[in-house]
Amino acid sequence: MPPLSAPAPRKRVVLLGATGSIGETALRVLAAHPDKLELAGIAARSNWQKLARIARQFGVRHVGIHDPAAFAAARENPAAFPPGTQLVGGVAGLSELARLPAADIVLVAVVGTTGLEPALAAITAGKDLALASKEILVLAGKFVMAAARAHGVKLLPVDSEHNAVFQCLEGHPAAGVRRIVLTASGGAFRDWSDAQLAHVTPADALKHPNWAMGPKITVDSATLANKGLELIEAQWLFGLRPAQCSAVLHPQSIVHCLVEFTDGTMLAQLSPPSMAFPIQHALLHPERAPGVDSALDFTQLLELEFRPVDEGRFPMLRLAKETMSAGGVAPAVFNAANELAVAAFLDGRIPFLAIPRVVEQTLGSIKNFEPTDLAAVLASDAESRCVAAVRIQSLSR
Ligand code: NDP
Ligand code: MG
């Protein structure tokens, strides 16, 4: 009789961005698979009360808080956390969590590029990385991918389209891939006229037709900057040329990608528009387990529609594609200017249609070059933020 095999050890997960939209869905996945996944550490920017609740619910004793005032408030309330909790602060604290000896995989789901340093810390410490924060690869894809290769860690995409491409590519030699097509829902303003777009409010932009997400990515979906960021993200993740990465409008958000092979055959990945599917795939990879949300139901009418993207209506997608083709620090400049412009729009400081103007003007002001180290990219990122801030000031209402 063959010996009974021991159950696989649980994967220990550090979750950066635990209080956000991806964080919440990741917690649902963790709660559904206590035999396979264990939460080892959590972090957020400032919502320490919510972190404390999560820590108590999952028995987590390693907690990171980025914001100094929130970190101080949490330290004054140790009773809110499980006994023996270690609180760490700032980006250094997030990096410490990412290196936690008791962790196998780090899920980075922090808005913007704050997660870059912790992501590199995780890679250097030999942890696998589940990456939701696409901005990190847009900023520093060249260096993050090189570090992942050098340290032999797995980089598992969480962004739904990239997770879909990852699934379609598994087992296929790279030479056989002609191109990938990422699907775009078209966001909140897919069918709005130019005249309507001039009067968009933040509340309008935050109503996404298919996905419930954090505010920054919801606005990025409305401008289609999100799809542009995702094309650049895909280029780095899968080692593709810009011409091999394209997008198509697909209003239902059921097909997340199409991968075309050299023989003209395409593979697609389908699942309902819930981030629980890609998050679970990334955390359990290569294992599969029952999903936490219902799968597609073919007893109901299911229509799948695909349309070309009109880049004239979505200048942010055009700009992102231009920066992808230009290479160098151009994608980092695009990302930094977009981050500031979106924040200014959400604060009511600039109109919706000013977002591409801020980005285009910033791109026009910063010299492009091929960075040879991370410090050079970070310098361009900082310079872009200064330039974009001045543009925003001049456009402020
Ligand atoms: P949310 O705004 O919902 O949540 C952001 C999370 O990041 C919160 O936990 C927040 O903490 C934390 N955070 C923000 N800034 C910092 C900081 N400076 N330091 C530490 N933590 C910080 O965002 P989402 O969950 O929607 O998105 C997270 C990332 O995942 C983004 O990069 C997005 O592009 C990507 N993504 C999201 C998808 C989605 O469906 N939501 C889909 C694909 C990718 P606090 O609560 O304290 O502010
Ligand atoms: Mg996506």
Judge if the beta carbon of residue 275 lies within 6 A of ligand 1: yes
Peptide linkage before 331 cis (omega within 30 of 0): no
Query: pLDDT tens for residues 334-376?
Result: 999 999 999 999 999 999 999 999 999 999 999 999 999 999 9
Mutation probe of ligand 1 site: the residue of 110, 208, 230 with most atoms within 8 A of C-beta? 110
What are residue 261's DSSP bridge partners? 177
pLDDT band of 315, cuts 50, 70, 90? very high
The whole-number pLDDT of residue 6 equals 75
Q: Which ligand is nearest to the CA of 51?
A: 1
- In the chain, pLDDT over 70 holds for what percent of residues? 99
DSSP code string of 140-208: HHHHHHHHHHHHT--EEE-SHHHHHHHHHHTTS-GGGEEEEEEEE---TTTT--HHHHTT--HHHHT--
Cα 367–chain centre separation: 27
Distances (CA, A) of 170 to 156, 184, 243, 340, 357: 12, 22, 21, 36, 40
Q: Which ligand is nearest to the CA of 69?
A: 1
The CA distance from 134 to 232, in Å, is 9
The whole-number pLDDT of residue 358 equals 98
pLDDT at 272 over 60: yes
Contact 249, 309 (CB under 8 A): yes
What's the whole-number average pLDDT of the chain? 96
- DSSP state, residue 248: E
The whole-number pLDDT of residue 188 equals 84
Query: pLDDT tens for residues 27-79?
Result: 999 999 999 999 999 999 999 999 999 999 999 999 999 999 999 999 999 99
DSSP code string of 280-307: HHHHHTT-----SS----TTS------B
The CA distance from 178 to 175, in Å, is 8
Mutation probe of ligand 1 site: the residue of 21, 24, 133, 342 with most atoms within 8 A of C-beta? 21
Q: Which of 113, 104, 117 is nearest to 147 (CA)?
A: 117
Ligand 2 center–CA 377 separation, angstroms: 24
Atom of ligand 1 nearest to the CA of 114: 18
User: Mean pLDDT throughout 320-326?
Assistant: 98
Q: Which of 202, 200, 253 is nearest to 227 (CA)?
A: 253
Token pair for 124: 């250097």
Judge if the beta carbon of residue 109 lies within 6 A of ligand 1: yes
pLDDT at 4 over 80: no
Q: Considering the entire predicted model, what is its pTM?
A: 0.96
The CA distance from 173 to 97, in Å, is 35
Q: Which ligand is nearest to the CA of 49?
A: 1
Query: pLDDT tens for residues 225-262?
Result: 999 999 999 999 999 999 999 999 999 999 999 999 99
- Minimum mean pLDDT range among 2-6, 133-137, 232-236, 393-397: 2-6
pLDDT band of 191, cuts 50, 70, 90? confident
Contact 75, 87 (CB under 8 A): yes
Ligand 1 center–CA 32 separation, angstroms: 22
Q: H/E element holding 13?
A: strand 11-16
Cα 69–chain centre separation: 26
Strand 177-184 to strand 255-261: parallel, antiparallel, or no bridges (unpaired)?
antiparallel
Rounded-to-5 percentages of helix, strand, coil across the chain: 50, 15, 40
Q: Which of 28, 79, 86 is nearest to 58 (CA)?
A: 28
Judge if the beta carbon of residue 65 lies within 6 A of ligand 1: no
Ligand 1 center–CA 302 separation, angstroms: 31
DSSP reduced 3-state for 390: helix
Domains along the chain with CATH numbers: 11-133 (3.40.50.720), 162-396 (1.10.1740.10)
The whole-number pLDDT of residue 378 equals 98
Angle at 68 between CA 114 and CA 376, to 5 degrees: 30
Neighbours of ion ligand 2 (CB under 5 A): 159-161
Distances (CA, A) of 249 to 159, 169, 179, 303: 17, 21, 16, 14
Task: Pick left, alpha or beta for residue 324 (phi over 0 → left; psi -120 to 50 → alpha; otherwise beta).
Answer: alpha
